[in-house]
Amino acid sequence: MTPTYHHGDLRRAVLDRAVEVIAEEGPGQFSLRSLAADLGVSHAAPRHHFGSRQGVLTALAAEGFTLLAVALQSARESGGDFADVGVAYVGFAVAHPSHFAVMFSPTLLDHGDAGLAAAQELTFAELRGGVRALEAQGRAADPAAAVLAAWSIVHGIATLALSGSLDASALRTDAAEDLLELTRRSATLLFRPDAGRPP
């Protein structure tokens, strides 16, 4: 693992603090210098581990994709259907909003980074696995449309929730803790439409 010289584990500390700051102020606002000050190290110390500000965000995104892949895999291996995996997707987003925001902000990331590409591939492989399951069940006569619909509906819920649009739109009356339950019902609607139709 990472050595523990002067600070202990500065790399880990920087990532953890970045998560906090991004959750409060957004990915575009946090500064390496104030972050270093928070940790009690010099303003150039983080640079030694990440190279640049973009390097910090890229490392954070890579960590996020790894965590998301694990969450999705766990939901699938528990025998979950599409709704379970979808709830896991949204659950990850609300549990790790800073990671999620960075993961899908391409202008903030270094897409040539090998660690990021590897972590992304973990998540995308998991998504592709979900497609094949749908095809095998004969639920997807139009696989391309089915996978786009599946990914988009959970990704859309996650981004709308994190952007605050659901609260601002007055479309939701539920409390925040009901988001996952509402996600389940919406996801179920996609491939089991009978559940949402009048009898």
Partner DNA sequence: AAGGAGATCTTGTCAGTGACAACTTGTCGG
Partner DNA sequence: CCGACAAGTTGTCACTGACAAGATCTCCTT
Site residues (vs a second copy, CB under 8 A): 25-29, 104-108, 120, 124, 127-128, 131, 138-142, 144-149, 151-157, 159-160, 163-166, 168-174, 182-183, 185-191, 193, 195-198
Q: Is 16 in the site for DNA (CB under 7 A)?
A: no
State in angstroms the smallest separation of the CB of 103 from DNA: 19
Q: Is 49 in the site for DNA (CB under 7 A)?
A: yes
State in angstroms the smallest separation of the CB of 27 from a second copy: 7
Question: 34 touches which of DNA, a second copy, none (CB within 5 to 8 A by kind)?
Answer: DNA
Of 71, 61, 75, 77, give the one whose Cα is nearest residue 118: 61
Q: Is 6 in the site for DNA (CB under 7 A)?
A: yes
Question: 172 touches which of DNA, a second copy, none (CB within 5 to 8 A by kind)?
Answer: a second copy
Binder of DNA out of 24, 26, 48, 143 (CB under 7 A): 48
Element spanning 136, H or E: helix 114-136
Cβ pair 59, 83 in contact under 8 A: no
State in angstroms the smallest separation of the CB of 116 from DNA: 16
Q: Is 79 in the site for DNA (CB under 7 A)?
A: no
Between helix 10-25 and helix 32-39 the angle, nearest 10°, is 120
- The encoded tokens of residue 53 equal 């500000």
Question: 31 touches which of a second copy, DNA, none (CB within 5 to 8 A by kind)?
Answer: DNA
Task: Specify the stretch interacting with DNA by CB under 7 A; choose among 27-35, 64-72, 105-113, 140-148.
Answer: 27-35
Cβ pair 192, 124 in contact under 8 A: no
Residue 174's region, left for phi above 0, alpha for psi from -120 to 50, else beta, is beta
Q: Which residue has the tokens 């439409």?
A: 193
Q: How far apart are CA 56 and CA 51, in angstroms?
A: 8
Q: What is the dihedral of CA 13, 18, 24, 28, to 10 degrees?
A: 170
Q: Is 31 in the site for DNA (CB under 7 A)?
A: yes
